[in-house]
């Protein structure tokens, strides 16, 4: 099993890339079938994949506010980007093509890096940069 976390700048980019990769189906011409995310499938070499679209992520923005009970709480906001996770079970050969295609559309792909020394970490660029800690929990699949 291999997983990647993705971050798209907006819905138009996500739909374009997802359609090209077979993860999104547009509405039928007569409108009887709505546009939809295709969340599961089987790669040509066998196995399966699962596409978990999360949507926007809300994180503390550094500000605080008082809640109705008088407690100080962090204020959450989103940057408007869209997140999700893709899991490949079995044949993961198509994953490198999926990653390349997503990046060509402007989608950031985070891969789990297993260094020889130290702990695994998520990275958007093959290991040169560590992703923020929250990336590990985006769209977790049981």
Q: What is the pTM of this model?
A: 0.85
Q: Give residue 45's pLDDT.
A: 72
Joined together, the tokens standing for residue 13 give 């980019």
How far apart are alpha carbons 26 and 49 in whole angstroms? 20
Question: What is the C-alpha to C-alpha distance for residues 104 and 106, in angstroms, rounded to an integer?
Answer: 6
Domain extents in the chain: 2-137
In degrees rounded to 5, what are phi and psi of residue 53? -80, 125
Give me the pLDDT at residue 82, please.
96
CA distances 13 to 1, 66, 104, 107, 133, Å, are 26, 37, 10, 8, 25
Q: pLDDT 10s digit of each residue in the chain, 142 long?
A: 889 999 999 999 999 998 888 888 888 889 898 888 888 887 767 778 888 999 999 999 999 999 999 999 999 999 999 999 999 888 777 888 889 999 999 999 999 999 999 999 999 999 999 999 999 999 998 7
pLDDT at 91: 75
Nearest Cα residue to 7 out of 129, 89, 102, 141: 102
Q: What is the DSSP letter of 32?
A: S
- Round to whole Å and give the CA distance between 77 and 141: 24
């Amino acid at each position: 099993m291999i997983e990647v976390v993705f971050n798209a700048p907006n819905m138009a980019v996500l739909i374009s890339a997802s359609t090209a990769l077979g993860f999104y189906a547009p509405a039928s011409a007569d409108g009887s079938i709505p546009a939809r995310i295709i969340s599961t499938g089987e790669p040509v070499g066998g196995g399966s994949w699962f596409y978990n679209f999360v949507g926007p992520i809300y994180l503390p923005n550094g500000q605080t506010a008082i809640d109705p009970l008088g407690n100080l709480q962090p204020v959450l906001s989103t940057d408007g980007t869209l997140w999700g996770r893709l899991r490949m079970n079995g044949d993961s050969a198509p994953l490198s093509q999926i990653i390349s295609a997503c990046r060509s559309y402007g989608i950031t792909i985070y891969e789990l890096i297993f260094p020889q020394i130290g702990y695994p970490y998520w990275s958007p660029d093959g290991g040169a940069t560590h992703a923020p800690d929250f990336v590990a929990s985006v769209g977790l699949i049981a």
